[in-house]
Structure 1
Amino acid sequence: MVSGGVQMQTCLGRKRKLKQEDSFNLVEEGSRHNEIPGEKDLNQMDQSIQSIDRISQLPDHVIHHIFAQLRNVDDAVRTSVLSKRWRALWHSYAVLVFDERKFIAGIRHGNSYNKKKRFKDYVSNSLQTRIEENPDIQKLVLHMTSFNLKAAPQVDHWLSIASGMCIKELDLHFGIKNSRRYSLPETFFVSRTLTGIKLSGCKLDACDNIMLPQLRRLCLQKIDLAEHNVQNFISGCHSIEDLRFIECSGLKNLQVSNLLRLNRVDVHHCKQLNTVDLSAPNLDTFWYRGKKSTSCKVNLEGCNSLRRLSLDHPQVTREFCKNEISKFPLLENLDLSLPDKMKHVTISNPQLRRIVLKGSSKLSFVLIDTPNLLSFEYKGETMPYVRIDPFCLRDAKLSLESRDQDIVHGDRFWFLARAFIHKFDSKGFKLVLQSSKNIAIHEDLTNISLPPLPDLSIKIFKSPSARLEDIVYSSLRTHPVLVTIISPRGSDFLKLVYTMIRFRGQDPICCNYSTPSNKCWRHFLKDVKIKNLNGEEFEVGDDKCAPHSSTWCNWCKSLYASRSCQMINLRLFWSFRLQHVETAETLQNL
């Protein structure tokens, strides 16, 4: 999100520059018309004016396709500022979003019952208006904070209206309260237009006869499932490409086969699940997540096209590390959460290009036999010895966070870290140290010393594609109080980082369409001051952070005062008040 905001500002700057250049061209054309008036010249000026807004000349179906490829409704709304025609086509695109939480947040007066009633009336009126203006719906999003059985007939009516309007995508979310769930009507499972369905908090009692021939994406979240429910979907949805099960209960055995178009499968925290058996010849991505306390056996035989594999479960990872990873001839990306007691891990696959390892507290040795590996990331409590043969890495990231003070402070960490780091070109490394609300950002790995703090976390970056903005902005997500920037003398690194933080913009536009709780650090940073640590007491608002902050400041003064480097300390002041609340009325007026 942080880097996205920067990209948005850059993109807006480019748009302004392009607009200015087009304006200059128009002035030059106008001056020539004054010199040689005539019908031909007037036609040329009309063509010049029309060329300024080329984006509005795209066919309707192309613009609608662009809307469909965007991540969410907010991004699609944002594009409506490109031109008046795009704004009109946004309405014809017919994406209807009804979020009860956001709607009620915009109503200051009234009790809970009246607010919920106003929301239901708003949905009914909006659907009726849409029928009169445009009989087709591209996507319907309905999020209700809780469900009352008395509201079932009304929800049935809304879905009946949507079904009659050739709906293509449906996103239904019902908050679960007192085990009351909305049961989807039988007619919901018969449609020749639906291409995407996301259900959360529903019941699937009536899904015996499913006919969804165009369905490509199916996501089931917080739903009580049985094996026959899944088999009914598979038998009635032969076009499924993306299949996801998130926090579903009841399902013990997941078996998927005979879906030739299946490209991605996600299974996250389905705690009663015992086995996952997939046979999909075109499966590209599989992502499994589960709690350590659960046990599950995963079988991916027949998935020979697999390119991305993510296993966030220690027991499943242990089984795959034995002999499964080498069985996928096209595997390029591997993300593994290791068991706590695993001491050694060996990975061998000729096509792997990226590996991520995380989780083990006892890991001491990593052997990787991958001739095409370009990126390696490790996150854990200790730094293992890593042997990559042959060594062709371009990118690397090490993240270490340990509760063992001896491990963090000892020479063993730097000995093993340097053994890995020295295999690279020494240029391009960045180091970030963090303890509580204090952060130090090093431009390189010279003059490194670790502060004596038990909660210290360490991140080392090496990547030609990793931008400084991304490293700095990711460090500011935790809202640190003190940021220490360290670089060799004569470097502009201090100035660059200070400028990024200090001049973030008075009114950040990066998260205009995000919810208040999901905005980036720019919206909360009130002020930045340069802090002189000599002869001053460092004050923090949280008493729990005070001892660590004092130790941090003493470490800065003692270790870097006499070294051949330059250092600046920035005191950051944050505001945690949520200033903007997005309401349903705002969405309605877009």
Structure 2
Amino acid sequence: MANREATKRRKLENSDDDGEIFAVDQISDLPEHILHHIMSFLPATDVNKTIILSRRFRSVWSSYPIIDLNDELLLKSSGQYRSPEERINKFLNFLHVCLQFREPNTRIQKFTLRVTLCDAVQWDNRIDGWISFAVDHNVEELDLDIKNKQNLFYKLPQAVFSTKSVTSLKLKGFRLEPHDLILSCPLIQDLSLRCCNGLRYFTVSSAKLRTIELDRCYGLQRIEIEALFLQSFLYRGVLNEPCEINVAACKSLKNLTLERADITDEWVEDHVAKFLLLETLKLSFCNMFKNIELSCTKLETLELDCCKGLENIEVAAQNLQSFLYNGDSRSCQINVAACELLKDLMLVNADVTDRWFADHVPRFLLLENLKLDSCNMLEKIKVSNEQLKSFHLLGCNKLVEVEIDTPNLISLSYDDPPLPHHPLMTFSISSSLVGVKLSLGTASLTREWFVNLRDFLGFFGHCKVLTLLCESDEVLIFPEALKDDLLPPLYDLKHLKIEVSSTSINYARLVKSLLWLAPHPETISFVSGNIEKSIKLGYEKMVAKQEDPEYCCRYRPIKCWRHYLKNVTMENFENVDNKKSLLKFFTKNAKMLL
């Protein structure tokens, strides 16, 4: 009954003087908890804008348990302010006004504040007021990110150290005093300190902690963690600032990520072997250890990225599913043959040979994704995995022969050096489902280069989609004299996609050359940024016909598109001149075009 009366009253409030009823806002009649649920699906900027919709929404916002304040999102139109200082003051004043609308007894589930200060500001009562407000209202997740253009650090309010409700604490850009954060905040499960300074020693003992992230904390010299149930630890060090790390007591660790850490062979042996539950190990720019031997039974992901001192890798992790190695000029021996459940294999700057490839890859019967980047000792490789779906070849300069017997392959990329880099290069692909992406790069456009390109493209005529990447359309404009001497390489190709970096494209000239390369395509697409222009071509049934003896294809065994093209549809060609030139080209050349 009360709800019915409220609805009637709202109808009257929305009527004009003559009693005519305007459209009723039915959303505002929903219960508060449902409106909160709806708001949880909206971007933070839209949630904050609801405060100006009506008194009802202002009331709903005032009790909403999630507060997300970001100066870059809330003040996108910064051009209307005379200076950056005025812009940030506008934002901070906006926060101060919003604070007055909050209901005093509402518990805050999550509070996020991101702001960039202009001056050498290390304290502002408006920022501290918001942080204290969140703490006073028993905030559970506290995420604070304060940047300063002069690379100074904001002083963290002492109120943060007194909270007993926070379970997730994320701090970025703060100057921290050498307090024990965990003892002060006993319920913390997730802790992240990024780009902070002031802590020389990080010592913690907690039964609550589940994740710790220490990312570029300047001046940090020692880390000592005793957290029996810690599952994830990330450390990203600062260049030329060594830090001693001891996490051996964290027996439940599942995810370990170290970047720019001064770990040695002994450290790896003492720590990693004790993590019986370890599933993910990522080591980047850790240059002091030389050998790594792993036999972790639960390890599923291993990444060794730019660890310059690494000389030997021996992995016998029976459940390993993903392995990435990114090396350097130093030779490193890699043995992962025992990891027969591998699904993802990525090798970058690895000194693997044809023999290594033949000994390892056939063992990985479940392999789905394979990437070889700058593996310059490979010359002839054969891939014969039935499960392989994605294969990326990048910058393997000495490769001259690639045989791919993979019936389920759906993605093949070949990039750098510019194609075709070797006149004797051969590709063999069994899958007709594959979408191929080739990078043509830049080249001196000689007759020999075009002949080699034509021969190379011939390996991909049966693929589902062929994508060609190039900086300029010139690399695809085959000389007319050359077309008379050569057969088109892509008779069977149905879908051709071109990604050109240059914005200056003569579409009619380019399409003419592409229709020589692929005489019967169903679609030709041009991708630039997020826009894709497409040409769809419809043909009548291709049957033999008596042709004009002076017409094209007199001596060709298969007639070209001109003989069968019946209709053309173009999409997203916003430039009128481009569209007109293409229509003129098709009308002039297609015999049956309607």
TM-score range, shorter chain: 0.5 to 0.7
Work out the CA distance in 2 between the residues paired with 1:139 and 1:452: 48
Work out the CA distance in 2 between the residues paired with 1:149 and 1:317: 42
- The reply on whether 1:224 has 2:197 as its aligned counterpart is yes
Matched residue, 2:13: none
Matched residue, 1:96: 67
Work out the CA distance in 2 between the residues paired with 1:449 and 1:123: 51
Work out the CA distance in 2 between the residues paired with 1:145 and 1:252: 28
Change (3 A) 1:254 1:273: farther
- The reply on whether 1:313 has 2:295 as its aligned counterpart is no
Structure 2's unaligned 5+ residue stretches are 1-26, 50-55, 381-393, 421-425, 431-435, 445-463, 477-487, 532-594
Matched residue, 1:200: 172
Change (3 A) 1:401 1:89: farther
380, 386, 393: which is aligned to 2:366?
393
- The reply on whether 1:182 has 2:154 as its aligned counterpart is yes
Greater helix percent: which structure? Answer: 1
* Secondary structure of 1:189 counterpart: helix
Work out the CA distance in 1 between the residues paired with 2:299 and 2:90: 52
Matched residue, 2:305: 337
134, 144, 153: which is aligned to 1:172?
144
156, 161, 164: which is aligned to 2:133?
161
Change (3 A) 1:425 1:194: same
More divergent stretch after superposition (297-306 vs 242-251): 297-306
Work out the CA distance in 2 between the residues paired with 1:132 and 1:96: 14
337, 340, 365: which is aligned to 1:371?
340
Native 8 Å contact 1:525 1:575 kept in 2 = no
Native 8 Å contact 1:147 1:180 kept in 2 = no
Work out the CA distance in 2 between the residues paired with 1:200 and 1:127: 23
Spell out, residue by residue over 1:525-559, the C-alpha distance to the aligned partner (whole angstroms, 9 max, x if none).
999985645998xxxxxxxxxxxxxxxxxxx99xx
TM-score (norm 2): 0.58
Matched residue, 2:413: 431
Identity of matched residues, %: 14
Q: Output the amino acid matched with 1:106.
A: S
Native 8 Å contact 1:351 1:372 kept in 2 = yes
* Secondary structure of 1:413 counterpart: coil
Spell out, residue by residue over 1:64-84, the C-alpha distance to the aligned partner (whole angstroms, 9 max, x if none).
9x95xx998579999xxxxxx
Native 8 Å contact 2:351 2:376 kept in 1 = no
Matched residue, 2:252: 282
Change (3 A) 1:93 1:450: closer
Work out the CA distance in 1 between the residues paired with 2:427 and 2:412: 5
- The reply on whether 1:353 has 2:329 as its aligned counterpart is no
Change (3 A) 1:139 1:452: closer
Deviation at 1:219, TM superposition (A): 0.8
Native 8 Å contact 1:274 1:295 kept in 2 = no
Deviation at 1:226, TM superposition (A): 3.2
Work out the CA distance in 2 between the residues paired with 1:534 and 1:61: 54
* Secondary structure of 2:363 counterpart: coil
- The reply on whether 1:245 has 2:231 as its aligned counterpart is no
Matched residue, 2:101: 129
Matched residue, 1:114: 86
* Secondary structure of 2:139 counterpart: coil
Change (3 A) 1:134 1:226: closer
RMSD of equivalent CA atoms: 5.4
Spell out, residue by residue over 1:492-529, the C-alpha distance to the aligned partner (whole angstroms, 9 max, x if none).
443xx57xx99xxxxxxxxxxxxxxxxxxxxx999998
Work out the CA distance in 1 between the residues paired with 2:189 and 2:101: 29
Spell out, residue by residue over 1:550-569, the C-alpha distance to the aligned partner (whole angstroms, 9 max, x if none).
xxxxxx99xx95x9997997
Deviation at 1:193, TM superposition (A): 1.7
Spell out, residue by residue over 1:89-123, the C-alpha distance to the aligned partner (whole angstroms, 9 max, x if none).
88754322332344454241333333222222111
Change (3 A) 1:144 1:302: same
Structure 1's unaligned 5+ residue stretches are 1-52, 79-84, 456-467, 503-523, 537-555, 577-590
| Higher relative contact order, structure no. (Cα contacts within 8 Å, ≥ 6 residues apart) | 1
Within 5 Å, give how 1:414-429 maps onto structure 2.
Answer: 414-415=400-401, 418=403, 421=404, 424-425=406-407, 427-429=409-411
Change (3 A) 1:488 1:59: farther
Spell out, residue by residue over 1:326-383, the C-alpha distance to the aligned partner (whole angstroms, 9 max, x if none).
2x22111111125458676442211212211223346586432113222212233776
* Secondary structure of 2:230 counterpart: coil
Native 8 Å contact 1:526 1:575 kept in 2 = no
Native 8 Å contact 1:525 1:574 kept in 2 = no
Work out the CA distance in 2 between the residues paired with 1:449 and 1:105: 39
Deviation at 1:453, TM superposition (A): 6.0
Spell out, residue by residue over 1:291-325, the C-alpha distance to the aligned partner (whole angstroms, 9 max, x if none).
8xx77655335321110111112526633x2x2x2
Spell out, residue by residue over 1:433-474, the C-alpha distance to the aligned partner (whole angstroms, 9 max, x if none).
357999xxx99848999969699xxxxxxxxxxxx99x98xx
Native 8 Å contact 1:242 1:265 kept in 2 = yes
Q: Output the amino acid matched with 1:126.
A: C
Q: Output the amino acid matched with 2:192.
A: C
Spell out, residue by residue over 1:24-69, the C-alpha distance to the aligned partner (whole angstroms, 9 max, x if none).
xxxxxxxxxxxxxxxxxxxxxxxxxxxxx9xx999869959x95xx
Within 5 Å, give how 1:252-291 maps onto structure 2.
Answer: 252-257=221-226, 259-271=227-239, 272-278=241-247, 279-290=249-260
Work out the CA distance in 2 between the residues paired with 1:310 and 1:410: 25
Work out the CA distance in 2 between the residues paired with 1:376 and 1:245: 29
Change (3 A) 1:87 1:117: closer
Change (3 A) 1:436 1:168: farther
> Which protein shows a greater Rg?
2
* Secondary structure of 1:131 counterpart: coil
TM-score (norm 1): 0.58
Work out the CA distance in 2 between the residues paired with 1:217 and 1:75: 28
Deviation at 1:183, TM superposition (A): 1.8
214, 217, 234: which is aligned to 2:187?
214
Work out the CA distance in 1 between the residues paired with 2:489 and 2:143: 50
Work out the CA distance in 2 between the residues paired with 1:239 and 1:569: 58
Within 5 Å, give how 1:400-549 maps onto structure 2.
Answer: 400-401=373-374, 412-415=398-401, 418=403, 421=404, 424-425=406-407, 427-433=409-415, 445=429, 489-494=491-496, 532-533=509-510
Work out the CA distance in 2 between the residues paired with 1:63 and 1:310: 37
Deviation at 1:245, TM superposition (A): 0.9
Change (3 A) 1:488 1:147: same
Work out the CA distance in 2 between the residues paired with 1:454 and 1:213: 63
Native 8 Å contact 2:228 2:252 kept in 1 = yes
